[in-house]
Structures are given as structure tokens and as C-alpha cells.
Amino acid sequence: MYAQWDTFKKISFLSLMLFISACDSFVAVELPKSQLTAKTVFQDYSTANAALASVYAKIRDNSLLSGNSSGLSNSLGLYADELTLYGSINQVFYNNTVLPTNTVLPIFWNNSYNQIYAANAILEGVQQSWFSSQQKAQLSGEVLFLRGLLHFYLLQLFGDIPYIRTTDFTVNSAVSRLPEKQVYSLIIADLNQAAALLLPTYSSADRVRPNSFAAKALLARVQLYDNGWGQAEKMATELIAGSPLFSFENNLNKVFLNNSSETIWQFMPSVAGKNTDEGAGFYFVSSPPNNVALSESLMGSFAPNDLRKASWTAPVTNAAGKTWYYAFKYKESKPTSPSKEYSIVLRLTEQYLIRAEARANQENLIGAREDLNKIRNRAGLMDVVANTKQQLLDAILEERRKELFTEHGHRFFDLRRMGKLDAVLSVKPAWKSTCRLLPVPESELIVNPNLKPQNPGY
């Protein structure tokens, strides 16, 4: 993060950021061909809006949330127990042998903090602009949403982390890591402010720019992870019952379409006609798989009549009768005209699971069962048999496994926050308790010793 920022202190970040191609469909307006200064960017709302759109594009293509092999859906699927590796990419994650010197870490750490830096640069520019109050609120709310989002994922991966809220290089180059609890408080503050600034409506029909409900959806997840059961339930309820924008989709084959009524926030593909990187990356037709396949333990967790197995996984069988499965939530592995699927980051079903868990932790077992059974019944399953708080929490964890697999690391994060990593992943040869956190990149500790100590075990 900081090693790359030494160039940013010499030139305007936005001059660099806006010197990009104007063909990305995330950018709503044509960007000027020449290099722009930060002052020019914030003289015009459409240009500032395009600058923010370019940040979304970078998060979509080159971040923790990208759908390619370096994103969390793939990396943490291998790190936990969702995926089995057959190719050579991401071996260190599959083998749980990530080291502080591994080149994969900068994709998570450096890229995320550079995107946070970009968001902060836009926030500072917007605050000094002559935009209308509503324009300032919209851009500022989106930036705060992204800042909270990126810090949330960094927190889950690395534990104590810096929380970056400025573009001041002198400050950022000497920053220290904050305790997890303090980071949660800062994320919650950003998301609460984002929810207050953003409108409840979407700025476009495709839901690729967050509204206030997207901020509340992420806030519900963060509160759940931080054991804020009451607030998690409150936020999830606002999504479930507080807006006609969202409705429960009973047809599993429609959940991941780009016009799904369950979608809260998603990434638009980079070019017209493209579909998701997840759809292309998980797909295979020959055996053995050329890269990854769904693990036998995941496939074995589905009941025979679970409709998610039929709708969201697909088999490939060789001549000897051996079968492998790939994730088939996104069904388009090639371009279509127009695009049929976008990469979904927040969806309504998760909110039911969040509320079920929050209710169970507050001893509202009837309400928790109602939410859990809604998910199970859609999958063709009977109501859950769970009569105690612990039985319900165990059932919710198992349901999250089958509902949210290969979606940005949910499985690993769930096992980590519930203290079940060792019990579940100890069957992996190189697993050890300290694998619960990734190491901070060694290069960052050298540049800024204030980031020490390194996470235990590294």
C-alpha cells in the first residue's frame, strides 16, 4: 500500500486515475482524452461521477471482489473447504501455505488500499466542489460505502488493520494497525453515514451503483460479524420488509440473472455482451478439471432433494463414471447479446440468513426458524428441526454453506467468526490455527515498521 503511494505524493492521484480508457461501460460519460488535473475533475459533476465509476471498475477487475482466480470467491474457496484444486493457480491458498513474501498478498492488501486512497481522493474533491447538495451527498455516500466495504474485507483477512481516511501521504506512510473492534466501529460509522446520504432509489435500473439499502445491507452483515444482533436484525428487516425494490425469488435459476429482484448491488461487466468472470472461471467441460471443482465435502453436504444442487452445480462425468461438479450459479460462460448476468455482491437471501442468526442470538427462536425455513423451503427442503439456540445456529451455519458457496469468501469468514476453523479445516494437511489470518505483506512491514507486529504464525 504505502510503497506504491510514494508516487502519488508527487502527482495528482486523479490525474493518474483519469488517464484511462473511456470504453469501460462502468464509466457513464466519455472521459477526456488528455490528462486531467484534480481541479478540473471537480469543476464538473459528470467528470467526477466518471472518476468514481472508474474506481468501481478497478474494484470489479482487480480487487478482493473480482470474479477471476485472484478474487476471494476462488482464493478463499480453496483456502477453506469449498473448492478442490486441479490446476496450478492458487496452490498456496489450497495448501494453506501463504507466506508474508507471497506475491498474491499485494492483490488483496495493496490493491485494496490503493482503491481506498482513490475513494478518499474523490471524497476530498467532492467536499471542496461547487456541486449541488444532492450531488455531493450521492458521491460522498457511494465513496463511504466503498471505503467501508474494502476495509471490511481487509479486516476479515488480516485482523488488525489501518483505517485510511485521508490522502495525506505523510500520515498514511506512518499509520499503525488498529484493533479489530475499533475497525468495526469505523466501518459502521462510514456505512451509517453512507445510508443517511444515499437515496433509497437506484440511480440506474441495473443496480450497479449503491443506494441507501445497499449500505444498510452491508451494515447488517458488519453488525452481525461484530455481534450487534439487534442492529443486524433491524437493518436486515429494512431490506426484507422495507422496500418494494426487493422481493424473494422462488425460482433458483433466476436468482443470479442481472435483473433479479433479489439483487441489492452488483458489478456490471466491463464491456457490453460480457457476462461474469465467475461464470467463465468455474466452468469446465472435460475431466479432470483444468483448474478447480467443487469439493466432495461441499457436494456431500447437499441433501439429495436440495434444489440448489440441481440448479447451482453442474456435473461433468468421464468415461470411467467419475463425476466432478462446478459452480453453476452463473450459467453464462461466454458473451451473450445483451449481457444476462452481472456479478452480485449483495443479495436479499443473505439478509434472511443474517436476520435468522441475529434472532437466534437474541433467543427469538421462532423468528429465526421462520427466516431459515424460507430459505430451506425454496430449496425444496423440509422445515428445520432445531429447538435450541445452538441447534439453530449450527443449522444456520450449514444453510449458509449451501446458499452462499463461492460468493466472496462467506464460508471461510463464517467458520472464522464462529470459532470453527480448526474443527472443520484440520483435515487439510498444512492447516494450523494461525491460518485464521493471512500475513501482512512483508514488503509493507519493511516500508512502515508501525504495521508490526506480523500476525502470529508468520
pLDDT along the chain (458 residues), means of 10: 39 39 34 49 89 95 94 97 95 96 90 95 93 96 98 98 94 95 98 98 94 98 98 97 93 97 97 96 94 98 97 96 97 96 98 98 98 98 95 98 98 97 96 98 95 97
Helix (H, G, I), strand (E, B) or coil at 372: helix
d(CA 311, CA 302): 12
Amino acid identity, position 327: A
Q: Which residues pair with 344 in a beta bridge?
A: 266
Q: Specify whether the CB–CB gap between 294 and 82 falls below 8 A.
A: yes
Nearest to 83 by CA among 433, 332, 361, 409: 409
Residues ≥6 apart with Cβ < 8 Å to 291: 69, 85, 86, 87, 89, 281, 284
Quote the pLDDT of residue 38.
Answer: 61
List of long-range contacts for 331-335, beta carbons under 8 Å, 24+ apart: 331/253, 331/256, 331/279, 332/275, 332/276, 332/279, 333/275, 333/279, 333/280, 333/283, 334/275, 334/280, 335/273, 335/274, 335/275
Residue 345 to residue 445: CA distance in whole angstroms: 31
Domains of the chain, earliest start first: 1-61+98-194+433-458 (1.25.40.890)
User: Under DSSP, is residue 254 helix (H, G, I), strand (E, B) or coil?
Assistant: helix
> Among 64, 60, 229, 91, which Cα is nearest to 158's?
64
Q: What is the pLDDT of residue 32?
A: 41
Whether the model clears a pTM of 0.85, i.e. scores above it, the answer is yes
Q: What confidence score (pLDDT) does residue 414 get?
A: 98
**Alpha carbon 377 to chain centroid, angstroms:** 26
pLDDT of residue 104: 86
Q: What single-letter DSSP state applies at residue 159?
A: S
CA distance 391 to 148: 32
